[in-house]
Amino acid sequence: GIQVEQSPPDLILQEGANSTLRCNFSDSVNNLQWFHQNPWGQLINLFYIPSGTKQNGRLSATTVATERYSLLYISSSQTTDSGVYFCACRMDSNYQLIWGAGTKLIIKP
Amino acid sequence: SQTIHQWPATLVQPVGSPLSLECTVEGTSNPNLYWYRQAAGRGLQLLFYSVGIGQISSEVPQNLSASRPQDRQFILSSKKLLLSDSGFYLCALGGRTSTNEKLFFGSGTQLSVL
């Protein structure tokens, strides 16, 4: 089955810094999503992005499907951006999303 | 808009006791529903998913079961809890068409089996 790898596993930054999180996947996908899990456990869907580029405020994401990777950009980081960021992908005709192990982001004030 | 209700937020149960976690959704019809479990500091593990009333698919053999008695209700159960059932349980819903395939999560239940 499809393999999903996220990097880096951990990232510590000062408030105001920019960051790039990467998600590599081993096969073609028709569904790719980015999630943020805050320190209280709530999982928030950030982007549904099987291809192309999307932006939402300080966050943007780009998926290059032909090269099998997706990037999540966070600009001008705030302490509320702390948490774990997950990438999840799905191949055709499969209800399951395959999840990466996540990137734990800590933003220091 | 879609809303996912999941309760309780925290639960402490003795080993061997039964379990029932309920998830109800609003603002959508005929959704795909999912139960995930997350161990501390780990990723998400899909336990069950349902594409309709009475239709349950199990992804991991375990001590748990799931039921979908109504279109917008998804229940996770166990007859006898094990220590290894401890974890953070999340209910999620997803749409069926290409325009609503995003997955949305409830607030989760932190289960501690002692």
C-beta atoms of B103 and A42 within 8 A:
no
Predicted local confidence at residue A19, as pLDDT = 96
Could you count the other beta carbons within 10 Å of the beta carbon of residue A13? 16
Predicted local confidence at residue A94, as pLDDT = 63
- Residues (pLDDT < 50) of chain B are none
Predicted local confidence at residue A32, as pLDDT = 94
Predicted local confidence at residue A91, as pLDDT = 80
Instruction: Give pLDDT tens digits for A61-94.
Output: 999 999 999 999 999 999 999 999 999 998 875 6
C-beta atoms of A101 and B49 within 8 A:
no
B2 touches chain A (CB under 8 A): no
B58 touches chain A (CB under 8 A): no
Among the partner residues A31, A95, A99, nearest to B43 by beta-carbon distance? A99
Predicted local confidence at residue B79, as pLDDT = 96
- Least reliable range by pLDDT among A36-45, A92-101, B40-49: A92-101
C-beta atoms of A45 and B107 within 8 A:
no
Among the partner residues A31, A45, A101, nearest to B43 by beta-carbon distance? A101
Predicted local confidence at residue A96, as pLDDT = 80
Q: Which regions of B39-108 does DSSP assign to beta strands (E)?
A: 44-52, 55-58, 65-70, 73-78, 87-94, 103-105
- Surface-to-core class of residue B9, CB atoms within 10 Å of its CB (0-12 exposed, 13-18 middle, 19+ buried): exposed
Residue A2's pLDDT band (boundaries 50, 70, 90)? confident
Predicted local confidence at residue B29, as pLDDT = 86
Question: How far apart are alpha carbons B87 and A84 in whole angstroms?
Answer: 17
**Residues of chain B found within 8 Å of residue A99, distances taken between Cβ atoms:** 43-44
Where do we find the tokens 């702390």?
A82
Predicted local confidence at residue B62, as pLDDT = 79
Among the partner residues B44, B57, B102, nearest to A99 by beta-carbon distance? B44
